């Protein structure tokens, strides 16, 4: 098996979990895509002591560096039942952990779709997690920003506006919401810095990933939506289907040619209480316009509004909600209907 150095521990953990679940795993590994060399010069040299008692070291920040790369971890089954690998792309301020073990300790969608017969590729996008980030302002041109707990609680529709409290016992969740609120503090440990100026590098890395491992099916979440839609437009021959879980953006039909995707079926999945959060009210028209453009171009499109199916209480993080397997089952049924299973 081939293991990236930084991914060795996770790869071994994934293999152990797979074995414990009775999966017949052929290979677990990791790799990087994208990135380029960047040269820095003229920066001051500093003397650093790495650990108490160690000899001082002169740290020179000048030289050649690899930046804007993406990290990908994969689990390949011995006998996959899906025709194509499943690529799982996370949202803003998050990493591939989105798809792994849930904050309450239950198995996540990575395991669900492995058990359903898919080879699964989980990535950390440019600037996130194991992909690492680069110096600001020498390489990344703007400062990073971070998501506070209150913002995540409200934006992800776990609780209504002004329901957040630093005391976990005093937080007020939406009645009937499905996120494991007791594990919320564990969830926000997944948060990582993000930048508002790195979309081009991120798209380039995703496009390189598609060229490397596809034909494939892509499942995207939140900010990952626009990257997935654009990747499909850039390689409609390699993307066999696209599943968008509450995408926070979509191409403008006036600028993107939806007819390129006539043969690429699309599934959109939405949770509950979208009309209770101002940002989601403003976000939703974009994906709706893209859906309508796809349908007009002859693309097979399905738009699942979970409350209209009688499935209520799902948050923006519906792959972590307590009924996430039920929703993954809907996604799996859709893929089967599209002929994506053997």
**Digit-coded pLDDT (tens) for 272-324:** 999 999 999 999 999 999 999 999 999 999 999 999 999 999 999 999 999 99
Between CA 250 and CA 124, with CA 336 as vertex, the angle to 5 degrees is: 45
In Å, how far are 28, 87, 188, 284, 342 from 117, measured between CA atoms? 15, 13, 30, 32, 10
Give the whole-angstrom CA distance, residue 260 versus residue 235.
9
Contacts of 324 by beta carbon, 8 Å cutoff, 6+ apart: 102, 108, 109, 112, 318
- Over residues 95-131, the pLDDT tens digits come to 999 999 999 999 999 999 999 999 999 999 999 999 9
Give the whole-angstrom CA distance, residue 66 versus residue 210.
21
Does the domain at residues 5-58+61-142+189-337 carry the CATH identifier 3.40.50.1820?
Answer: yes
Provide the β-strand partners of residue 69. Answer: 34
Residues of the chain with pLDDT under 70: 1-21
* Token pair recorded at residue 228: 């997935």
Number of helices followed by number of strands (H, E) in the chain: 9, 10
Give the whole-angstrom CA distance, residue 129 versus residue 126.
9
Residue (of 40, 118, 128) closest to 90 by Cα position: 128
Q: What is the per-residue pLDDT for 6?
A: 39
- SS3 label, residue 320: coil
* Token pair recorded at residue 162: 């002004």
Q: What is the per-residue pLDDT for 50?
A: 87
């Amino acid at each position: 098996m081939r293991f990236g150095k930084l991914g060795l521990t996770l790869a071994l953990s994934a293999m152990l979990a797979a074995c414990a679940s009775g999966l017949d795993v052929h290979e677990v590994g990791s790799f990087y895509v994208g990135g380029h060399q960047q040269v820095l010069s003229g920066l001051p040299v500093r003397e650093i002591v790495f650990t108490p008692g160690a000899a001082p070291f002169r740290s020179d920040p000048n030289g050649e560096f690899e930046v804007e790369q993406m990290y990908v971890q994969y689990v390949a089954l011995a006998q996959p039942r899906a025709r194509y690998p499943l690529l799982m792309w996370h949202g803003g301020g998050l990493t591939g952990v989105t798809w792994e073990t849930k904050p309450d300790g239950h198995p996540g969608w990575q395991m669900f779709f492995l058990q359903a017969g898919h080879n699964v590729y989980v990535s950390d996008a440019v600037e996130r997690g194991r992909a690492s980030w680069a110096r600001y302002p020498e390489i990344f041109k703007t400062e990073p920003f971070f998501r506070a707990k209150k913002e995540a609680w409200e934006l992800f529709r776990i609780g209504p506006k002004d329901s957040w409290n630093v005391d976990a016992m005093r937080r007020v969740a939406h009645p009937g919401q499905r996120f494991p609120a007791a594990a919320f503090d564990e969830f926000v440990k997944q948060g990582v810095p993000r930048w508002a100026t790195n979309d081009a590098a991120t798209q380039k890395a995703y496009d390189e990933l598609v060229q490397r491992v596809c034909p494939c099916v892509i499942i995207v979440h939140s900010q990952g939506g626009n990257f997935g839609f654009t990747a499909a437009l850039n390689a409609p021959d390699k993307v066999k289907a696209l599943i968008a879980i509450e995408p926070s953006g979509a191409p403008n039909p006036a600028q993107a040619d939806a007819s390129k995707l006539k043969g690429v079926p699309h599934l959109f999945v939405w949770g509950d209480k979208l009309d209770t959060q101002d940002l989601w009210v403003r976000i939703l028209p974009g994906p709706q316009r893209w859906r309508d453009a796809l349908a007009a171009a002859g693309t097979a499109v399905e738009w699942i509004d979970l409350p209209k199916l009688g499935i209520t209480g799902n948050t923006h993080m519906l792959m972590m909600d307590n009924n996430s397997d039920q929703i993954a089952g809907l996604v799996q049924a859709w893929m089967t209907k599209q002929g994506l299973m053997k």
